[in-house]
Homo-oligomer: A and B are copies of this chain.
Amino acid sequence: MEAVAETLRAVRQTSPLVHFITNYVTVNDCANITLAAGASPIMADDAREAGQITGLCSALVLNMGTLNERTVQAMLHAGQTANLLGRPVVFDPVGAGASDFRNDTALRLLREIRCAAIKGNNSEISFLAGGMADARGVDAGPESLVTEDNLAENARRARKMAALTGAVIMVSGPIDIVADSREAWAVRNGHAMMARITGTGCMSAAVTGAYLGANPQAPLRACVCAMAAMGVCGELAYEKLRAVDGGTGSYRIFLLDAMSKLDAETLAARARVERLEL
């Protein structure tokens, strides 16, 4: 688990700057969890400056939560700049599958930007797999939550998508899957309360941006650690919540608290990550 500890320490020691083009619903949570993780966020979503801001940063996070034509243009500019400069791009295709505009945008971003990590729930990842399927023979597969029963099947699909895209594929759910083209990992941290507040998915992508920004040489490990870190914080927040008999408002606060106090030892001790034999 030394590798896990090292990954987290790199974030806190280098404090990478992360550029976000993200939705206005959870943007404050993304900024605060990025700071809590030990990195620094900067939000800028106009094409006039998006590329230049990316140039200052160690990583770029693109989140489709609330799209419009202006921000799509900014995403393209920023993503292409990141690709040119070799900075990792995290793509969170929020709501892919829900409208033509989102679907077209998701597939366009996939075509025009090379991502270091793509993170979504199983339904979003399934949509992307299906979209690639038309052209390239990937099976879209099941859209249900990842469980022990379908874990192997979903992990194999993630590995295939990783091979096609060059990105680490992160499927969030009760069990998270994190895969590159060679390896697939299961992360069994987290708590059901995380689904009862808005933004935990967006925050996972934010933390991934922070971890990748500080560990660009080891993207798979950075993504596994980011997922585990979010999950562990979800557990720690629930333990705190039970002690004060709170609800979802407090849970969100305790999640941020936990991330800001998470140390390498706790993460290494509590992370339940397993390399899958497929």
Contact = CB atoms under 8 A, between A and B. Distances in A.
A35 B195 CA distance: 9
Interface stretch (A41-49, A106-114, A146-154): A41-49
Contacts of A29: 28
B261 A257 contact: no
Interface string A164-204: 00000000000000000000000000000000111100000
A91 to B, nearest CB: 18
Contacts of A41: 198
Nearest to A55: B99
Contact of A253 (B66, B101, B250): B250
Copies of this chain, tallied across the complex: 3
A35 B66 contact: no
A36 B257 contact: no
Given A36-B249, A198-B35, A43 B69 contact: no
A197 to B, nearest CB: 6
Contacts of A261: 247
Contacts of A196: 35-36, 260
Contact of A252 (B32, B52, B255): B32
A246 B257 contact: yes
A96 B184 CA distance: 43
A68 to B, nearest CB: 4
Contacts of A247: 36, 256-261
Contacts of A36: 196, 247-249
Given A32-B197, A36-B249, A100 B49 contact: yes
A48 B32 contact: no
Interface in A198-241: 198-199
B99 A52 contact: yes
A83 interface: no
Given A48-B68, A49-B67, A249-B252, 13 more contacts: A24-B24, A24-B27, A28-B28, A35-B248, A43-B65, A44-B95, A52-B99, A53-B98, A247-B257, A249-B253, A249-B254, A249-B256, A250-B253
